Amino acid sequence: DTTVTVTPAAIGFVAVPKSLDDIVKVPDGYSVTVLYRLGDPINTATAAFANNGTDTGYANRAGDHHDGMSYFGLAATGNTPDPANSLRGLLVLNHENINQAYLHVNGATTVGGARPEGEALKEMECHGVSVVEIVRASLSGAWSYVQAGTLNRRVTPLTPTSFVGPVAGNAALRTAFSPTGVAGRGTINNCANGYMPWGTYMTNEENWAGYFRRDTGDVAARGGAAAKANVSLARYGIPENRPGNYAWSTVTPADAASTIYRRWNITVQPGAAADGSGDFRNEANQFGWCLEIDPFTNTSVPRKRTALGRMNHEGCWAGRTIVGVRPAFYMGDDAQNEYIYKFVSATPWVAADASPTDRLATGDKYLNTGTLYVARFNADGTGTWLPLIFGQGGITASNTTYAFADQADVLINARLAADVLGATRMDRPEWTAINPVSGEMYCTLTNNSSRTVANTDAPNPRAYTDPRTNGTVTNGNANGHIIRLRETGDTSEATAFAWDIYAFGAGSDLNPTNINLSGLDATNDFSSPDGLWFGRSSNASGLVSPVMWIETDDGAYTDVTNCMLLAAQPGTVNDGGVRTITNTIGATTGTQATRVGRAPGTALRRFLVGCKECEITGIDSTPDGRSLFVNIQHPGENGSPSNITSNWPANQSGTAATGVRPRSATIVITKNDGGVVGL
């Protein structure tokens, strides 16, 4: 029902001051419980975590760098879904990356040019996804995770997956592991998430490209720089002559037949079959996808949804589901000057699909067939969704920079197709979120140091010299902004939209004419917005309260404050009008007109500040809104075993924990009076 009107409850807490302390702070009247930490065992056969670098068996422990996260309600007993249960559920969360040094006794080692197998295996298994049962006995009881939970599961870079949709079986997916291009192996650098309307979890592969080794000579082996394979690898950021993150391919495994390490080397191997089925030249094509997991069965094989395109997938969030209307899924491609996408299903929504018996088959129904679009933002506050369809808009076999072969080639090389269409290059698109009341889509644009005065445009209008980027002067858009759009006719099927900028990140003391354009003050100033989520809480009248939660990443402001979580009650697109900004970097000056929202004022307020060297990411609540789950990612990330820079979460109680290694962790925040968090 698109005509529903709602009176939102007001956000009701006193803002938390900025902080550099090594502890997570929340408003007076709230409590923090540490729920699920790096290394916590998820079965009874796995030993307690020693946290000194000696631990192994991470395929049965929480991974590192907790990121995107969703709560799935379970019935009071058994393994049946109960989306309304706020006392027992499955928490599903991403483990994006690792604090490598803390995983080993004395940091990572290399012996004779090779990584030790045991270290590399640990590092791989610390990536991926956790599914873990959590429970509280009553609305006043403490939350804990259930070590013996029968649905507990880790998905790692080693877990079998399958490819579905238009690219499944394509020659570009063939490897020695998957000669038919249908099987996949694992997932990596899983960033933001998506809660699918049929009750599954979408995990999204973001900075996967960095893990691949590519030796000098590989460009020539693939036919020279102009060859299609090399154009694609260059566009996705895999140049030759580099070892790949953590150099996993250097391992000599005890099992000589194992390919779990050499798969990370995509260099064409002499004598291997030219179709790629005998080496790992195509392994990078197996990553960059959205991967759907059914949390309610830990034997199901997760499915890579190729119709949603290949990119640095930050997240994948569903628009509103309306019976008879084709649903949309909004996605950012997080790299400088990349694009915002949406996938519109070919299948109109059916109400019964909110609780299907076969959840992954329902995913097939909505996500395997449809149209992938990319956004073009016009200067006048309008915009267009451009379809990535083979044969249309110059995406053809005769294209001179990249001869597209078919629709599968378009999806594998979505960035190249979007280039052809003339999509708008954004300031690093991170999370998307949907206002459940209005259907408007918000997207964080975290920052962009490569934005120049000359190439600002209306949706990316700022280029300035930030005086305070950890003491280093940075040019471009150092603090980021949040853009929002309203689909024409308020329907997910729209191919046009209106847009404005909801808020600009800035220190409150910075220039109000070109940096602090949203009039932020000490209660709500922030930098580098990243996580973004609308609460599903209800107010006392049972009405949806559209509180939007904003999480920040390591940005230009971390010399003043640790990263944070803010709560907002945003207005609507075009509630602020037109504004012209004067941009200045050095001697270069220019003006840029844009569309802005009204100043957020007290409707944007800081709710939480994190510990040292962490990012705040991942957020969901129980359906009653009384428990808010938040992830604290990479505390103490700049340290090492000999220079521990954070003791969180061992010190969260307020007791000193000197010498204890930091751990990424999920926390749960509750209001001491039992009320809805944030209101």
Q: By 3-state DSSP, what share of the chain in percent is helix, strand and coil, each rounded to 5?
A: 10, 30, 55
Residue 309 CB, nearest approach to ligand FEO (Å): 16
State the amino acid at position 93 in one-letter form.
L
- Scanning 78-86, 254-262, 417-425, 530-538 for contacts with Ca ion by CB under 5 A, the matching segment is 530-538
Give residue number: closest CB to Ca ion: 553
Residue number, 40 or 615, with CB nearest to Ca ion:
615
Nearest to 151 by CA among 86, 75, 215: 75
Question: DSSP letter at 667?
Answer: E
Residue number, 327 or 531, with CB nearest to ligand FEO:
531
294 binds, among Ca ion, ligand FEO, none (CB under 5 to 8 A by kind): none
Question: Can you say how many angstroms the Cα of residue 101 is from the centroid of all Cα atoms in its chain?
Answer: 23
State the amino acid at position 7 in one-letter form.
T
**Residue 312 CA neighbour count, 13 Å, CB half:** 22
Q: Which of 191, 374, 445, 563 binds ligand FEO (CB under 6 A)?
A: 191
Residue 240 CB, nearest approach to ligand FEO (Å): 25
40 binds, among ligand FEO, Ca ion, none (CB under 5 to 8 A by kind): none
Q: Supply 246's token pair.
A: 């953590």
Residue 221 CB, nearest approach to Ca ion (Å): 34
Question: Which of positions 254-313 make contact with ligand FEO (CB under 6 A)?
Answer: none
Q: Sketch the per residue contact string, 471 through 490, with ligand FEO: x for CB under 6 A, - otherwise.
A: --------------------
Nearest to 238 by CA among 397, 415, 368: 415
State the amino acid at position 274 in one-letter form.
A
Residue 446 CB, nearest approach to Ca ion (Å): 5
Residue 634 CB, nearest approach to ligand FEO (Å): 11
Question: DSSP letter at 307?
Answer: G
Residues 360/292, Cβ–Cβ less than 8 Å: yes
Nearest to 133 by CA among 295, 291, 293: 295
615 binds, among Ca ion, ligand FEO, none (CB under 5 to 8 A by kind): Ca ion
Q: Supply 496's token pair.
A: 């046009």
Residue number, 333 or 553, with CB nearest to Ca ion:
553
Residue 607 CB, nearest approach to ligand FEO (Å): 20
Quote the CA–CA distance of 251 and 118 in Å, as a whole number: 9
Angle of CA points 510, 513, 518, to nearest 5°: 75
Residue 332 CB, nearest approach to ligand FEO (Å): 8
Q: Which of 96, 292, 333, 525 binds ligand FEO (CB under 6 A)?
A: 96
Residue number, 98 or 395, with CB nearest to ligand FEO:
98
Residues 466/556, Cβ–Cβ less than 8 Å: yes
Helices and strands, number each (H, E), in the chain: 6, 34
Nearest to 462 by CA among 474, 472, 476, 449: 476
Residues 330/340, Cβ–Cβ less than 8 Å: yes
Q: Sketch the per residue contact string, 490 through 529, with Ca ion: x for CB under 5 A, - otherwise.
A: ----------------------------------------
Residues 218/268, Cβ–Cβ less than 8 Å: yes
Quote the CA–CA distance of 566 and 550 in Å, as a whole number: 5
User: What is the radius of gyration, based on Cα positions, of the chain?
Assistant: 24
Residue number, 318 or 616, with CB nearest to ligand FEO:
616
Question: Which of positions 541-560 make contact with Ca ion (CB under 5 A)?
Answer: 553
Told to check if 123 binds ligand FEO by CB under 6 A, we report: no
206 binds, among ligand FEO, Ca ion, none (CB under 5 to 8 A by kind): ligand FEO
Q: Sketch the per residue contact string, 397 through 436, with ligand FEO: x for CB under 6 A, - otherwise.
A: ---------------------------------x------
Residue number, 315 or 535, with CB nearest to Ca ion:
315
Q: Supply 619's token pair.
A: 């957020």
Q: Rounded to the nearest 10 degrees, what angle do helices 414-421 and 228-235 cross at? A: 90
Q: Which of 532, 615, 628, 635 binds Ca ion (CB under 5 A)?
A: 615
Q: How large is the greatest C-alpha to C-alpha distance in the chain, in angstroms?
A: 70
Q: Sketch the per residue contact string, 501 through 540, with ligand FEO: x for CB under 6 A, - otherwise.
A: -----------------------------x----------
Residue 158 CB, nearest approach to ligand FEO (Å): 21
Quote the CA–CA distance of 159 and 63 in Å, as a whole number: 14
Q: Which of 22, 206, 294, 620 binds ligand FEO (CB under 6 A)?
A: 206
Question: Which of positions 425-464 make contact with Ca ion (CB under 5 A)?
Answer: 430
Q: Which of 64, 119, 283, 314 binds ligand FEO (CB under 6 A)?
A: 314
Lay out the sheet containing 604-609: strands in order across: 529-534, 548-552, 564-568, 604-609
Quote the CA–CA distance of 497 and 439 in Å, as a whole number: 12
Rounded to whole angstroms, what are the CA distances from 506 to 176, 519, 588?
49, 9, 21
Residue number, 314 or 637, with CB nearest to ligand FEO:
314
Residue number, 300 or 336, with CB nearest to Ca ion:
336
Question: Which of positions 318-337 make contact with ligand FEO (CB under 6 A)?
Answer: 334
Residue number, 67 or 283, with CB nearest to ligand FEO:
67
Q: Which of 292, 530, 551, 613 binds Ca ion (CB under 5 A)?
A: 530
The footprint of Ca ion (CB under 5 A) covers 430, 530, 553, 615
The footprint of ligand FEO (CB under 6 A) covers 96, 191, 206, 314, 334, 430, 530
